[in-house]
Amino acid sequence: MCGIVGAVAQRNIVSVLIEGLRRLEYRGYDSCGVAVLGENGPRRARSVARVADLDEQVHEGHFDGITGIAHTRWATHGAPVTDNAHPIFSKDALALVHNGIIENYETLREMLRGKGYEFVSQTDTEVIAHLIHSVYRGDLFAAVREAIAQLHGAYAIAVLHKDQPHTVVGARQGSPLVVGLGNGENFLASDALALAGSTERFIFLEEGDVCELSLDGVRIVDRDGNEAQREVRQVAAYGGAVELGPYRHFMQKEIFEQPRAITDTIPQADSFDPSIFGEDAGKVFAEIDSLLILACGTSYYSGLTAKYWLESIAKIPTQVEIASEYRYRESVPNPKSLVVVISQSGETADTLAALKHAQSLGHKHTLAVCNVGTSAMVRQTELSFLTHAGREIGVASTKAFTTQLVALFVLAATLAKLRGHLSDEQEAGYLKQLRHLPAALNSVLALEPQIIAWSEEFSRKEHALFLGRGLHYPIALEGALKLKEISYIHAEAYPAGELKHGPLALVTEAMPVVTVAPNDALLEKLKSNIQEVRARGGELYVFADADTKIVNDEGLHVIRMPEHYGLLSPILHVVPLQLLAYHTACARGTDVDKPRNLAKSVTVE
């Protein structure tokens, strides 16, 4: 997704800008660019290739400047071609980079054409550049404030003007933007990660903020134009670039990091104590009568899994909604419901907007399950639980998902205890199972060679069906999502009992049917569903718990999982599905870590 970097310093900042873009690369982009202020105004380089190509261009062109902005673009308005890459110029005087979407760009474009501005890109961004230029009267900060009052939509922007050689102005509304504070130099970025190595002191701008970076300081005003004092946070956790080590791709590395990530996420305490969700969690949990979970994509599937746990262990009614749907439908708010947002990045625009929507409807109790402690979601919720997956680089979420599941299981057990549904014996049992989970995961990861053998078969298919039941239906959904997003094989998931209500018509020998088969209460039902597929000549690929006694047969391929792992079984069963998607994608030669059209952190609607 789009990324912004900006800098004002007393040294050549080109390398800071390029390094910032490199750190944002993993999020996915299809073009990039940089502009620095020189004596004759802004000078830019743009590329529809990688940041490495941009780096070559700036070296060959001897780019040098103490003020600059840079961008990675993930196309929304206009194809990924050089003319649409940012920075976008206005009259060769002003340069601008933008994340987000401007909804009223057509009206503004007509108005600006009327004033003589020519448009050379198909982007919505170009209207912002010309709009600011049209109201500029020697004060860029004032011009930006005047211009953004006319924008509808979401944006984070960074702007510079040739007449103000030591100034970068930023503004945010609906897209994240952070200021990095240095000594005699200051920075701007859409994510603090971009500035690792340049500073560890950050100001996370709030909605509606406009900031002006100069050599000796940063000025911020809020949406009402009042001078704002924002907290300066020390963030040292961003370290250097993540190494690939012995792995072929980050996705593979991250799949294998899951035992460690889960160990780091499991709370240390010997009991399920609400305080791990925040100081006031005990009080909040005592007040609530239900949960409303809001999330997108893989995070939504962890919410769906959690619903089974929350209703069966904690006996608390739980609703799970896709954030982008919830925010636009009329719902019946229940102020006694705890709103839980789940997100790896904590910046997903749809989930953030859904959270704000829920709050505007009167939901006062909110909790974020998130992998980034400094993210907007964690800052905007009353309670939070941080997963400790570590940075996830692969676009397809793996370790973030399993650590979310751990967090949500802990939430279910904690609520169960507070609501009187958890005996001491059960509590000790769940804690023991959680602590043994990393070892159990290692034995599942050891199945990789068998999965590689299957992936050869899968790589020649164009469609696949995934089946699961109960607690493992969301795992089938997640398996199908993983396969489609990285291998581009069309995959659908169904609760196995639904097969006969339609999808069975698709079953032929050309359609592999992947089945998640834990030894739980629904096993006998699932076995009947397996027979329905076999009777129609379908090829089954079953991940079966060792104690299910499902064995290889004609049209029935089985990989044996460890023995049934009880309520935590989904965390084990998703891992072979991740590996199957990964190795199938490798066999097809797709770009595993950066699948086409996708971005890591989806900060636009």
CB of 323 to ligand F6R, least distance (A): 8
Q: For 455-478, b where at least 16 C-beta lie within 10 A, e where not — what string?
A: beebbebeebbbbbbbbbbbbbbb
CB of 265 to ligand F6R, least distance (A): 15
Kindly state whether residue 455 participates in binding ligand F6R, applying the rule CB under 6 A: no
The pairing of strands 383-386 and 366-370 is parallel
Q: Which of residues 558-587 bind ligand F6R (CB under 6 A)?
A: none
Q: Which one of 96-104, 209-217, 292-300, 495-503 is the stretch in contact with ligand F6R (CB under 6 A)?
A: 292-300
Kindly state whether residue 414 participates in binding ligand F6R, applying the rule CB under 6 A: no
Q: How remote is the C-alpha of 5 from its chain's centroid?
A: 19
Q: Which one of 153-161, 338-346, 381-389, 504-512 is the stretch in contact with ligand F6R (CB under 6 A)?
A: 338-346
- Rounded Cα distance, 162 and 560, in Å: 66
CB of 378 to ligand F6R, least distance (A): 12
Size of the site for ligand F6R (CB under 6 A): 15
Nearer to ligand F6R, 66 or 481 (CB): 481
Instruction: List the beta strands (DSSP E) in 104-196.
Output: 153-161, 168-173, 178-181, 186-189
3-state SS assignment for residue 597: coil
Kindly state whether residue 134 participates in binding ligand F6R, applying the rule CB under 6 A: no
128: alpha, beta or left? (left if phi > 0; alpha if psi -120 to 50): alpha
Q: Which of residues 484-513 bind ligand F6R (CB under 6 A)?
A: 485
- DSSP 8-state secondary structure symbol assigned to residue 600: S
CB of 592 to ligand F6R, least distance (A): 12
- Rounded Cα distance, 385 and 388, in Å: 10
The two three-digit tokens of residue 385, written as one number: 């639980």
Instruction: List the beta strands (DSSP E) in 261-407.
Output: 290-295, 318-322, 337-343, 366-370, 383-386
3-state SS assignment for residue 560: strand
Q: How remote is the C-alpha of 273 from its chain's centroid?
A: 28
Q: Is 370 a catalytic residue?
A: no
What sign does the dihedral 497-501-506-508 (CA atoms) show? positive
Kindly state whether residue 345 participates in binding ligand F6R, applying the rule CB under 6 A: yes
Q: Which one of 8-16, 27-35, 139-147, 291-299 is the stretch in contact with ligand F6R (CB under 6 A)?
A: 291-299
Kindly state whether residue 343 participates in binding ligand F6R, applying the rule CB under 6 A: yes
- Applying CB under 6 A, among 167, 265, 337, 351 the residue interacting with ligand F6R is 351
- Rounded Cα distance, 303 and 416, in Å: 17
Kindly state whether residue 348 participates in binding ligand F6R, applying the rule CB under 6 A: yes
Nearer to ligand F6R, 529 or 601 (CB): 601
The two three-digit tokens of residue 489, written as one number: 């094989």
Distances from the Cα of 425 to the Cαs of 52, 90, 146, 177, 422, in angstroms?
57, 69, 63, 48, 8
Distances from the Cα of 418 to the Cαs of 274, 431, 460, in angstroms?
9, 16, 51
Nearer to ligand F6R, 70 or 353 (CB): 353
CB of 403 to ligand F6R, least distance (A): 11
**Which of the following is catalytic: 253, 484, 594, 600?**
600
Please tell me the total number of residues recorded for the chain in this structure. Answer: 605
By the 8 A CB rule, do 72 and 27 touch? yes
Nearer to ligand F6R, 35 or 602 (CB): 602
Question: Torsion angle, CA of 353/354/358/359, rounded to 10 degrees?
Answer: -30
CB of 343 to ligand F6R, least distance (A): 3
- Within 10 Å of residue 271's Cβ, how many Cβ atoms? 13
By the 8 A CB rule, do 61 and 36 touch? no
Q: Which of residues 297-326 bind ligand F6R (CB under 6 A)?
A: 297-299
Nearer to ligand F6R, 190 or 345 (CB): 345
Nearer to ligand F6R, 133 or 600 (CB): 600
CB of 486 to ligand F6R, least distance (A): 8
Q: Is 2 a catalytic residue?
A: yes
**In sequence order, what are the beta bridge partners of 173?**
155
CB of 392 to ligand F6R, least distance (A): 8
CB of 350 to ligand F6R, least distance (A): 8
CB of 600 to ligand F6R, least distance (A): 7
- Which residue is at the shortest CB distance from ligand F6R? 297
Q: Which one of 116-124, 204-212, 340-348, 530-538 is the stretch in contact with ligand F6R (CB under 6 A)?
A: 340-348
- Applying CB under 6 A, among 8, 45, 97, 296 the residue interacting with ligand F6R is 296
Kindly state whether residue 344 participates in binding ligand F6R, applying the rule CB under 6 A: yes
- Taking residues 462 to 481 in sequence order and writing x for each that binds ligand F6R by CB under 6 A, - otherwise, the string is -------------------x
- Rounded Cα distance, 342 and 366, in Å: 11
- Rounded Cα distance, 84 and 46, in Å: 9
**Which of the following is catalytic: 2, 211, 296, 586?**
2
CB of 155 to ligand F6R, least distance (A): 20
- Applying CB under 6 A, among 9, 396, 410, 540 the residue interacting with ligand F6R is 396
- Rounded Cα distance, 566 and 436, in Å: 12
Half-sphere exposure of 17 (CA within 13 A, CB side): 34
- Rounded Cα distance, 375 and 357, in Å: 18
The pairing of strands 290-295 and 337-343 is parallel
- Furthest-apart CA pair in the chain: how many Å? 79
Q: Which residue has the tokens 């802990």?
A: 410
- Applying CB under 6 A, among 199, 397, 403, 529 the residue interacting with ligand F6R is 397
Q: Where are the alpha helices (DSSP H) in 348-498?
A: 349-360, 376-379, 399-418, 424-445, 448-458, 473-487
Residues annotated as catalytic are 2, 600
- Where do contacts with ligand F6R occur on this chain (CB under 6 A)? 296-299, 343-345, 348, 351, 396-397, 481, 485, 601-602
